[in-house]
Structure formats: C-alpha cells, structure tokens
C-alpha cells in the first residue's frame, strides 16, 4: 500500500470518503499504517469525527484543504481518519484524553500520538488563521512536531479509568452531578425525584439552562417511576416530563413537516436546533413518546410517535434496517433544507391553509435563523383535542394537514442533506426497542412487524460463529465487537421475547457472550486486537450506557428465572437514568406477569414485564397473586 497519498478514495465508510479529496495523505487505522509510523518515527495525527458533524465539515473544507497544512502533515506526520461511530473505542480513549488535558471535548477530535500510540496533545476545531487566542492550525502543527522531537522520550502512556470513574467525561462536563439522598421519610425514590426537581428548568423544560439535549434515559426513568410510584411522586414526575415532552415536540427540535427530531437545540428555549438527525434520537424518543402517550393519554404524544415512525420509514430505511444519520448541512450551509422565508410559505398556500398555518406556527418576516424561519409551533401537536384550547379557537386540522403536505413537497424538491447509509448494529437494535414500545403502549400499526424484520436482519446479517459485527457500510462489514452492541441486541430480543418465542435461543446466546466483556468485576466496552481494551462507560450519553444495558439484560434473565436479586441503588438520575430503570425493576416497581400465552398489553399497566410459565401469576412490590394486575387505563 502506498502511504504517500490519500488512501481514503478506497474507503467504504461514508465519513472517511468525505475526506478523499483532501490534499492530506489520509490513511485508515490499520496495522500497515501504524507500522509505517513506527519505522519512520513519525507522530500520528488521529482525527476523529462523523459524517453528519458540521464542524468536521468546516475543518475539512478549511485546514485539511489548505496546501500549507497538508504539506506539514504529509512531511512530518502520519494522518489517520477515524469515524467515531465505527470505532467508538478509539473515540472514547482519545476523548477521555482530550477532556483530561483541556477540560472540554467535542468533534472534530484531533489527537496527536506517538508512533506507539501514546497521546500527548489533543484539540477540537482549529482554523487556518489565528482566532480567539488560538494559533492557526499550521502553527499548531509546527509546535506539536517540535515538542515531539524534543520530548518524545518523556511521553507517558495514558490510561482510561475503570469502574464508576469511567463515566463519559464529555457528558459529565455538561450535566450537573447530583448526590442521590434519601428523602426525610426514607423513601429513596422520593429523594431521587427531589434531585431531579432541583435540576429541572422550570418554564422551559429539560435540564440545565443553556443548550438543550433530549434527556432520553432520564425521561424513561421518570416515566417508569411515575407508573409505579405513589400519586404525589407520580404527579411530580409526570409534570416535569410533560413540560419537557411538550417543549421538544412543539418547538424547534421537532421536524414538524416530516416527523422525527433533530439532535439538540443550541438555546435554552428549544428554538434553533443543530440540524443533524441521528438514528439513536429517533429510537429513544419513539420509546419515550410511546410510553408518555400511554401514561397520559395525550393525543399529541401519540401524533408525535406516529411522526417518528413515519420519518424512520420514509427517510432512514435501507432494506430492513435503518441508516445512521442525516447531515446537519446542505451545500455546506447548516439547516438550509429546512428554512423558510415568509413569502415562500404564504405564496404556496391558499387562503384557508395560510390562515390555519400562521395560527399554528410562529413565523415572521425577519425569521428566527439567519433571516429565515425554522418552523416552531404556537399550538402543540394534538391541539384539536386539547381542552385548554377553546373549541371555537381551534384551527382546522384538515387545512393544517394540507398546508404541511404542500410545504413538505416543496422542501422535498430542494437539495437534501447527506444520508450516512452506514448500518450500526446497536443503533438499529435500539430502534427496535422503540418500535416494540410503540406497539406495546400505543398499538401503532406496523411497528411490531418492523421490529421483527429488524431482529431477523440483524441476526442474519451481523452474527456468525465469530460473534456480533458492529457495522456495515456498502459491502464492507466491520468485525470489531463492542459490549453496547451485544447488550442492546440482547435487550431488544428480550423485549420481543414478551411477544414471541422466536428469538429465545439467540437471546440466551447473546446474553452469555456479553459476559466475556466483564473481567474481575469491571465491564469493558471493547477488547479489539488492533487497540487497547477500553473500559465501558457507566454514563448515559446520549444512548444508555453499555453497563446499564448489560445490567438490564441480566436482571431480566433473573426475573424470568425467578431468582431473587438484591435491590439496586438509585444513582444520579441525570447521568444514570437507564440504570435507574433497572433499579425500579429490582425494587418491585414493575409488575411481573407470568402466563402460558402473551397477554394483550392493553390489559396490563405500562410498567409490566411478561414471562412465559404454566400458571397465570402476577407479582408486584413483593406480593404475588392469581390473575392479571389492574391496568393504568
């Protein structure tokens, strides 16, 4: 292989191929590249990003396209491109180093390593010019090379912490860490709820007072806790969750025309999003809105869940699986596909449609994003059934649907964001969990069938005698293995096991294989032969942590086997929401229904686990009895 050229032209990964025309001699992470660096004593630039990352695109167009920077990199370094979604182990290791040395993180992540893999400097985006007391990228490269030449023998290895200290440091810097304490009456759940109330952003929803990320796992914990807790605690949880769900589905994080959600909002009031769309967000929000719709009977939540499913099918689907993400940019401009001038809207609609649309949506001549309008609603989805909106003031839903359909058609004729067609095992399994929830809690047509198709596609295409593959791009299937993939697929199959026995052998096999990632009491995310063993994260960010997913799988096995397990302690609900769902299960906050045949979910409370057995028995909070529990309708 000729390493004196950019070899990404032959890469199958979509993100790597985005850099194939850079003058930088980019290489993939492989033994030949690493051996070349050692033979020539050249430090590594390992640049980590992902295909839908706005600032990754900017740096590719600027610094990595500048002849001066390329000349320095090609002469003095070996440059390697990494897709963080394809190699989460390398990303986690280098992100841990970046946060440990700078106090913050982000992408693109540009780390400099010795030829034998010891990181000694890391940074995020850098411009071709000096800005805000940060040198130009070319000057940084010169300084890094000079440091390496003078100090290379003094560079120590960097080790990632194990156990609880292995929580995602990038997430930790943006989320308050709360001490979980008992309430005065000794009710630990009530104490955990009190901590959530302290961090809750009243008036805006969500947690924190700046950028707003969807708190997926925290919301799941809040909803399941509300289903099993007493009336006062349940009301407090549903009030906070409801305000957050309402803000997310009404304001700018929601794609109101197509359905589905953007990644996060850059402001406290959920107005302007970062316009990328990630599969894992759709998966977790489908699960959340389905459960919220069941617990509250809010028609807007059901409408929102239906929109997520529609978006998955129309814009993410590739065969029986789902693509990874839609880009934030169109033609190198963030959000360009989604923005509207007021005249574009009014000229496309007839009088009735225009009147209805402008009553439901908050649009203006000046706009809310660079002189244009990103659509934000005045009235929430499901307003036609909202008793707080007087009947005589409700806009006509038929006119609104017609207006939205026309605008979506116009938007569809515009240039569209890039679609990363890479197929990720864990993210598709997470989407499967969301589809099971949509079937279970809302009875959405087609969702169970799609979940079954995803399960079969994952088992047929990503498992063999060697294990569970992580990703596929085109005809290239990546064989690296990760705890999170095993645990997510096992959990997905376990949830399907409450509907059918089709996947029982595979569920047991994956759960058993998952245990090889645990050694001497420590969970490891990976142990791939071409990189270091990486401890698993305990922090939910943004998907459930690998540790929490694995614990949920093992707990479900114990429940099905009638094994009495000690109750788990509630942890910080902002950092460990999914772990807290397992804590609820272990403490009896879930009904466990045993029956010879599956019971219709309409007859059961939302917080129910079904298992197959000879008799019809229900258990809740340590009490077992014949028959079914009273549902939450």
Q: Regarding predicted confidence, which is higher, 479 or 452?
A: 452
Q: How far apart are CA 435 and CA 257, in angstroms?
A: 21
The answer, yes or no, to whether residue 294 has pLDDT greater than 50, is yes
Of the candidates 470, 452, 410, 447, the residue with the CA atom closest to the CA atom of residue 313 = 447
Q: How far apart are CA 527 and CA 550, in angstroms?
A: 16
Give the domain range for residue 614.
590-633
Residue 396 lies in a domain: no
Query: Which ranges of 44-124 does DSSP label H, i.e. alpha helix?
Result: 54-61, 67-76, 88-102
Please give the pLDDT value at position 633: 58
Please give the pLDDT value at position 179: 36
Residue 383 lies in a domain: no
Residue 307 lies in a domain: no
- Boundary (domain end) residue, out of 157, 172, 200: 157
Q: Between β-strands 608-612 and 591-595, what pairing exists: parallel, antiparallel or unpaired? A: parallel
Strands (E), 63-150: 78-83, 109-113, 119-123
CATH number reported for the structural domain that contains residue 18 in this entry: 3.40.30.10
Residue 268 lies in a domain: no
**For the chain, how far is it from start to end, CA to CA, in angstroms?**
65
- Boundary (domain end) residue, out of 157, 187, 204: 157
Please give the pLDDT value at position 355: 96
Q: How far apart are CA 541 and CA 577, in angstroms?
A: 10
Cα 44 vs. chain centroid, distance in angstroms?
A: 29
Q: Regarding predicted confidence, which is higher, 444 or 130?
A: 444
The answer, yes or no, to whether residue 216 has pLDDT greater than 60, is yes
Instruction: State mean pLDDT over 342-371.
Output: 97
Residue 208 lies in a domain: no
The answer, yes or no, to whether residue 514 has pLDDT greater than 90, is yes
Q: What DSSP string describes 541-562?
A: SSSPPHHHHHHHHHHHHHHHTT
| Partners of residue 471 on adjacent β-strands | 424, 478
Please give the pLDDT value at position 178: 35
Could you read off the pLDDT of 308-340 as tens digits, one per residue? 999 999 999 999 999 999 999 999 999 999 999
Residue 99 lies in a domain: yes
Angle between helices 483-496 and 504-514 (to 10 degrees): 150
Q: pLDDT category, 632, cuts 50, 70, 90?
A: low
Residue 428 lies in a domain: no
Phi, psi (rounded to 5 degrees) for 23: -70, -10
What's the total number of domains in the chain?
Answer: 2
CA distances from 80 to 7, 29, 48, 383, 447 (A): 10, 6, 9, 51, 41
Residue 81 lies in a domain: yes
Please give the pLDDT value at position 441: 98
Angle between helices 546-560 and 577-586 (to 10 degrees): 20
Phi, psi (rounded to 5 degrees) for 326: -105, 140
Please give the pLDDT value at position 162: 64
Q: Which two tokens stand for residue 108?
A: 């693109």
Please give the pLDDT value at position 224: 98
What torsion do the CA atoms of 145, 147, 150, 151 make, to the nearest 10 degrees? Answer: -120
Q: Can you say whether residue 270 is alpha, beta or left, with left for phi > 0 and alpha for psi between -120 and 50 degrees?
A: left
Q: Between β-strands 277-278 and 78-83, what pairing exists: parallel, antiparallel or unpaired? A: unpaired
Could you read off the pLDDT of 100-129 as tens digits, one per residue? 999 999 999 999 999 999 999 999 999 999
Q: How large is the C-alpha radius of gyration of the chain?
A: 25
Q: Is 319 helix (H, G, I), strand (E, B) or coil?
A: coil
Instruction: State mean pLDDT over 44-50.
Output: 98
- Boundary (domain end) residue, out of 114, 131, 157: 157
Q: How far apart are CA 550 and CA 167, in angstroms?
A: 15
Q: How far apart are CA 626 and CA 618, in angstroms?
A: 6
Could you read off the pLDDT of 252-285 as tens digits, one per residue? 999 999 999 999 999 999 999 999 999 999 999 9
Q: How far apart are CA 70 and CA 63, in angstroms?
A: 8
What mean pLDDT is reported for the chain? Answer: 93
């Amino acid at each position: 292989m000729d390493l004196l050229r950019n070899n990404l032209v032959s890469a199958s990964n979509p993100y790597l191929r985005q850099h194939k025309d850079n003058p930088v001699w980019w290489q993939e992470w492989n033994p030949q590249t690493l051996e070349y660096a050692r033979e020539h004593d050249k430090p590594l630039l390992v640049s980590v990003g992902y295909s839908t990352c706005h600032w990754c695109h900017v740096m590719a167009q600027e610094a990595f396209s500048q002849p001066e920077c390329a000349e320095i990199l090609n002469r003095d370094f070996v440059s390697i491109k990494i897709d963080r979604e394809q190699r989460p182990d390398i990303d986690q290791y280098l992100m841990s180093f970046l946060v440990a040395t700078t106090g913050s993180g982000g992408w693109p992540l540009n780390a400099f390593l010795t030829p034998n893999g010891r990181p000694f400097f890391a940074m995020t985006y850098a411009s071709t010019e000096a800005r805000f007391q940060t040198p130009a990228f070319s000057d940084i490269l010169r300084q890094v090379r000079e440091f390496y030449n003078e100090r290379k023998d003094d560079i120590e290895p960097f080790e990632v912490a194990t156990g609880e200290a292995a929580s995602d440091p990038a997430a930790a810097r943006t989320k308050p860490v709360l001490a979980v304490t008992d309430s005065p009456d000794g009710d630990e759940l009530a104490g955990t709820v009190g901590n959530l109330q302290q961090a809750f952003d009243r008036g805006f929803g969500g947690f924190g007072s700046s950028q707003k990320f969807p708190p997926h796992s925290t919301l799941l914990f809040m909803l399941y806790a509300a289903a099993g807790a007493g009336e006062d605690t349940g009301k407090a949880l549903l009030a906070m969750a409801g305000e957050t769900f309402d803000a997310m589905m009404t304001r700018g994080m929601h794609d109101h025309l197509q359905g589905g959600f953007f990644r996060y909002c850059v402001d406290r009031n959920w107005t302007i999003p970062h316009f990328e769309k990630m599969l894992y967000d759709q998966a977790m929000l489908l699960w959340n809105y389905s459960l919220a719709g069941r617990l509250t009977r809010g028609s807007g939540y059901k409408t929102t869940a239906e929109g997520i499913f529609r978006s998955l099918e129309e814009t993410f689907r590739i065969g029986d699986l789902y693509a990874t993400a839609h880009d934030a940019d169109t033609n190198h401009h963030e959000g360009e596909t989604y923005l509207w001038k007021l005249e574009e809207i009014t000229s496309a609609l007839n009088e009735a449609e225009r009147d209805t649309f402008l009553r439901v949506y908050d649009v203006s001549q000046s706009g809310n994003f660079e002189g244009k309008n990103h659509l934000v609603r005045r009235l929430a989805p499901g307003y036609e059934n909202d008793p707080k909106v007087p009947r005589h003031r409700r806009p006509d839903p038929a006119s609104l649907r017609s207006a939205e359909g026309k605008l979506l058609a116009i938007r569809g004729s515009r240039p569209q964001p890039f679609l990363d067609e890479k197929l990720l095992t864990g993210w598709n399994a997470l989407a499967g969990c969301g589809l099971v929830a949509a079937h279970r809690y809302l009875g959405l047509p087609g969702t169970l069938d799609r979940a079954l198709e995803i399960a079969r596609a994952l088992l047929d295409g990503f498992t063999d005698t060697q294990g569970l593959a992580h990703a596929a791009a085109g005809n290239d299937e990546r064989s690296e293995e990760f705890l999170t993939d095993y645990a997510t697929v096992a959990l997905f199959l376990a949830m399907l096991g409450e509907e059918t026995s089709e996947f029982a052998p595979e569920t047991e096999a994956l759960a058993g294989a998952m245990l090889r990632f645990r050694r001497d009491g420590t969970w490891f995310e990976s142990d791939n032969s071409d990189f270091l063993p990486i401890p698993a994260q305990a922090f939910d960010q943004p998907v459930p942590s690998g540790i929490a997913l694995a614990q949920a799988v093992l707990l479900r096995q114990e429940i099905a086997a009638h094994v009495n397990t000690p109750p788990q302690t509630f942890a910080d609900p902002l950092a460990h929401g999914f772990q807290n769902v397992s804590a609820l299960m272990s403490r009896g906050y879930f009904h466990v229904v045993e029956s010879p045949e599956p019971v219709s979910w309409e007859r059961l409370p939302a917080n129910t686990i079904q298992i197959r057995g000879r008799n019809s028995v229900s258990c809740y909070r340590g009490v077992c009895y014949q028959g079914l529990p009273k549902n939450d309708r």
